[in-house]
A and B are shown apart, each in its own frame.
Chain A
Amino acid sequence: MHVNNSSTEKESLTKRKSALGIRLFFIYLICYAGFVLIGVFQYELLAVQVLGGLNLALAYGIGLIVFAVILGVVYNYYCTKYEDEVEAEQTNEEGGAV
């Protein structure tokens, strides 16, 4: 019944990816919480003009969206790198058989 189960993945690899994911999650969480907290405690700050004539609210809001995409790409890059490293190791262990 299980679809394409890939639980054969090395545990060390899983751990590395999961540690990276958690780290990136907390980075984003801090940025997101920062926006909410400024809104609640330092509302006036949101009206300050920052980038290209935009106020902080707009720049921060659009920034959060763009930052999410960037973090996604970073995450994918490192995960793929980790996976390739493990695959290369396995290939070497198996005596170079492809």
Chain B
Amino acid sequence: MIYEISYTALIFFFIFVGLVVGLSFYFGRKTSSSSSYYAAGGQIHWGVNGIAFAGDYLSAASFLGICGMIAISGFDGFLYAIGFLGGWIVALFLIAEPFKRLGKYTFTDALNAKFNSRAITLSASVSTLIVSIFYLIPQMVGAGDLVMPLLGMPHWAGVLLVGAIVIVIVASAGMASTTYVQFLKGGLLIVLSVVLTFFILKNGLTLTPDFKGSSSHYTFMELTPQVENDKVIAVSDWDVVVQQNVGNKTFVKLSQNGVERWFDWTQDQSGPLLRETLTVTQQVDGQALYNGEPKENRRFYQVGHMSKIVVNGEEVPQTGPVGPFEFLSTLQESEIVRFMQVKFADGTDQVSLYYQEPTTGEAFMLPGLKYKIGRDANLWSKLDFISLMLALFLGTAALPHILIRYYTVKTPRDARKSTILAIAAIGGFYILTLFMGLGAAVNGVLDVESSNMAAPLLARAFGAVLFSIISAVAFATVLGTVAGLIVASSGAIAHDFIDVYLKKNLSDHRKVQVGKIAAFAVGIFAILLGMAFKGINVSFLVGWAFAIAASANLPAILFLLFWKKTSETGIAASIIVGIVSSLLIILTSPTMWDKYGLDPTNAVHQLENPALISFPLAVLTVYLVSLRYPKRNNVASIENNTAQ
């Protein structure tokens, strides 16, 4: 995608970042003891906390990832919304209050409340660290994507920028700032989504989304070729250069006025047809051509449009303003053009080609375009779908940076109210993602190179101001989430590992200091990973973080809360088995095989999501090990002491 710097966005961006950093310094002055650094002293109002919960949760994966995946793959993106929200049910009904009653700061402390076991401390802090890092990667990747159109910067610069700002926030203030920042950002994100959805519905559906002339909708060329013996031999006004087969598709390179363009050879009712494609050609000299021309010529277009709009059985060019139900049901009847990617070599050039794939609204509004469970399904793809839904459902309650907020309100009653407010806010937002994602799919705003920018780019079509505010909020979203995660992981290192496990008995002042050093180290590590994982799908990566969290943490928590015979050895073993098995499955998955430069179809297994295997394995471990190595007899007395 070719982006221009937007100065309006730039101004709003700096105002917002200034606000965030200013807030964190303001609250930072109040931070004195370690308890206020980690959990804001338990003094935050439940309403603020509830929206902050939502702010925590609506990370880059939700706003950028889900909207983007819906825009590209239709209903399959919405699966993430359903699963992410379902997870709150586990958090609220099974975990929230018992955890609050244990009255501990960190995940490790809560797990260890009854046992005071060094094995639990170690394994739980390792799990917090690994889950946080897996959750950090997509946030950093999303940050990089976001700054490209916002500031006209390369991907790595965005990652570096987010990392640097977060390190400053966390090292200067800690949790107090992040709660208020998350509150502000969560609230704004929901308000802006409502505004954007309102614009989408008011605008309705149209075959030519040019926004009343304010943006130029590009109509892709269609040419009629002369064909002989499966070869395109001539096209009027164009010279035929070469023809290339990729899979079951045939692409034809034509040239006109010295510019070469690729076309997709398809069939129409009236005969053979050449449809224009989008290409990025990487030449050996390092130069990249966009649709056969240099970047400056701006021949690489935003995509996503409807090829047919059907209302009450009749084709219409546009609908005018529609209601929410009408919007969805009309899309279901109509036809949407998606862009699919293929890569091939053309002589010494490497070509990334995006061709038009007309998709019926019916297929677009059903699961199956990404996660094959209907047509073209096989056993692996079905297991993968179940595994994904399992991880999303069970992962939420086990995320360390979500749990940490349970401790920032005063009573279990308040914690409960916070959580319900969060569910309502997040649920409302997720329903809006459906409209924003579909709106992006049909309004000609998509960037074929990165789906993550669907929602912000849609906002840009409705005006520079909306775009700038939404981009700034999305950036703050990443900022806040990254800050929360870094606090959680620095807590795991400084508090759980160094203070408790190594028994260093640090002074309060020293503890805060060590926490800040740990935050700095994790921040640097996150920056490096964010750069390394550029180009991987954001929501997909978050799915992995959920799977690891669900496998490592949830069996331990659930058994601790609901089975009296659970022993400390069982908990520690379950955490280790959960981490190791989910990591092993991820590292041997087809996606990672592809990353290693190997053929994904030859991977050890074809499961992209590990939870279906690693979660039951961890459950089995905590059960069997607890039976084999029961609780020590003196636990009862510790239990009484820690309850006070």
Interface assignment of B534: CB less than 8 Å from any CB of chain A? no
- Which residues of chain A are within 8 angstroms of B431 by Cβ–Cβ distance? 62, 65-66
- Which residues of chain B are within 8 angstroms of A29 by Cβ–Cβ distance? 89
Which of B75, B92, B377 is in CB contact (< 8 Å) with A58?
B75
Interface assignment of B423: CB less than 8 Å from any CB of chain A? yes
Decide: A64 and B82 in contact? CB cutoff 8 A.
yes
Contact residues of A between 1 and 55, Cβ < 8 Å to B: 1-7, 9, 14, 17-18, 21-22, 24-25, 28-29, 32, 35-36, 39-40, 43-44, 46-47, 52-55
- Expressed in whole angstroms, the Cα–Cα distance for A36 and B386 within the complex equals 7
Chain B: CB-nearest residue to A60: B82
Interface assignment of B382: CB less than 8 Å from any CB of chain A? yes
Interface centre among A3, A17, A21, A55 (most CB of B within 10 A): A3
Decide: A40 and B103 in contact? CB cutoff 8 A.
no
Nearest CB in chain A: distance from B412 CB, A:
6
Nearest CB in chain A: distance from B478 CB, A:
24
Nearest CB in chain B: distance from A77 CB, A:
10
Q: Which candidate, B292-300, B364-372, B469-477, B568-576, is the interface stretch facing chain A?
A: B364-372
Decide: B94 and A83 in contact? CB cutoff 8 A.
no
Decide: B86 and A57 in contact? CB cutoff 8 A.
no
Decide: B410 and A4 in contact? CB cutoff 8 A.
yes
Which of B86, B92, B367, B410 is in CB contact (< 8 Å) with A46?
B367
Interface assignment of A88: CB less than 8 Å from any CB of chain B? no
- Expressed in whole angstroms, the Cα–Cα distance for A28 and B423 within the complex equals 14
- Expressed in whole angstroms, the Cα–Cα distance for A44 and B413 within the complex equals 44
Decide: A72 and B325 in contact? CB cutoff 8 A.
no
Decide: A32 and B93 in contact? CB cutoff 8 A.
no
- Expressed in whole angstroms, the Cα–Cα distance for A71 and B427 within the complex equals 12
Main secondary structure of the interface of A (DSSP, over half): helix
Which of A5, A9, A36 is in CB contact (< 8 Å) with B644?
A5
Which of B75, B94, B103, B424 is in CB contact (< 8 Å) with A4?
B103
Interface assignment of B373: CB less than 8 Å from any CB of chain A? yes
Decide: B332 and A57 in contact? CB cutoff 8 A.
no
Decide: B325 and A76 in contact? CB cutoff 8 A.
no
Nearest CB in chain A: distance from B401 CB, A:
17
Decide: B373 and A40 in contact? CB cutoff 8 A.
yes
Decide: A3 and B105 in contact? CB cutoff 8 A.
yes
Decide: B407 and A21 in contact? CB cutoff 8 A.
no
- Expressed in whole angstroms, the Cα–Cα distance for A66 and B367 within the complex equals 19
Chain A: CB-nearest residue to B417: A76
- Which residues of chain A are within 8 angstroms of B419 by Cβ–Cβ distance? 72
Decide: B98 and A9 in contact? CB cutoff 8 A.
no
- Which residues of chain A are within 8 angstroms of B41 by Cβ–Cβ distance? 3
Interface assignment of B643: CB less than 8 Å from any CB of chain A? yes
- Expressed in whole angstroms, the Cα–Cα distance for A22 and B362 within the complex equals 37
- Which residues of chain B are within 8 angstroms of A1 by Cβ–Cβ distance? 35, 105
Contact residues of B between 96 and 111, Cβ < 8 Å to A: 97-98, 100-101, 103-105
- Expressed in whole angstroms, the Cα–Cα distance for A5 and B325 within the complex equals 47
- Known A5-B644, A21-B97, A53-B325; judge A68-B85 contact (CB<8 A): yes
Main secondary structure of the interface of B (DSSP, over half): helix
Decide: B362 and A4 in contact? CB cutoff 8 A.
no
- Known A14-B101, A64-B82; judge A24-B93 contact (CB<8 A): yes
Nearest CB in chain B: distance from A24 CB, A:
5
Interface assignment of A91: CB less than 8 Å from any CB of chain B? no
- Expressed in whole angstroms, the Cα–Cα distance for A68 and B101 within the complex equals 24
- Known A53-B332, A66-B427, A76-B420; judge A21-B367 contact (CB<8 A): no
Decide: A40 and B382 in contact? CB cutoff 8 A.
yes
- Which residues of chain B are within 8 angstroms of A83 by Cβ–Cβ distance? 413
- Known A21-B94, A68-B423, A79-B416; judge A57-B88 contact (CB<8 A): no
- Expressed in whole angstroms, the Cα–Cα distance for A39 and B367 within the complex equals 8
Decide: A22 and B385 in contact? CB cutoff 8 A.
no
- Which residues of chain B are within 8 angstroms of A6 by Cβ–Cβ distance? 100-101, 103, 411-412
- Which residues of chain B are within 8 angstroms of A65 by Cβ–Cβ distance? 81-82, 85, 427, 430-431
Interface assignment of B587: CB less than 8 Å from any CB of chain A? no
Nearest CB in chain A: distance from B188 CB, A:
21
Decide: A57 and B85 in contact? CB cutoff 8 A.
no
Decide: A25 and B75 in contact? CB cutoff 8 A.
no
Contact residues of B between 306 and 343, Cβ < 8 Å to A: 325-326, 328-329, 332
- Expressed in whole angstroms, the Cα–Cα distance for A50 and B449 within the complex equals 36
Interface centre among A17, A43, A65, A75 (most CB of B within 10 A): A65
Chain A: CB-nearest residue to B643: A7
- Expressed in whole angstroms, the Cα–Cα distance for A11 and B105 within the complex equals 23
Decide: A68 and B88 in contact? CB cutoff 8 A.
yes
List 19 additional A-B contacts (Cβ < 8 Å) besides A14-B101, A17-B97, A79-B416.
Answer: A2-B104, A3-B41, A3-B105, A25-B94, A32-B86, A43-B368, A43-B374, A43-B377, A44-B374, A53-B325, A53-B328, A55-B365, A58-B328, A61-B79, A64-B82, A72-B88, A73-B420, A76-B417, A79-B97
A to B CB contacts below 8 Å, 27 in the list: A2-B104, A5-B643, A6-B101, A7-B101, A9-B412, A25-B89, A25-B90, A32-B86, A32-B389, A44-B374, A47-B366, A55-B365, A57-B75, A58-B365, A61-B78, A62-B431, A64-B82, A65-B82, A68-B86, A68-B89, A68-B423, A69-B420, A75-B420, A76-B416, A76-B417, A79-B413, A79-B416
A-B pairs with lowest CB-CB distance, top 5: A53-B329, A5-B103, A21-B93, A3-B42, A43-B374
- B interface with A by C-beta (< 8 Å): 35, 39, 41-42, 75, 78-79, 81-82, 85-86, 88-90, 92-94, 97-98, 100-101, 103-105, 325-326, 328-329, 332, 362, 365-368, 373-374, 377, 382, 385-386, 389, 393, 407, 410-413, 416-417, 419-420, 423-424, 427, 430-431, 434, 643-644
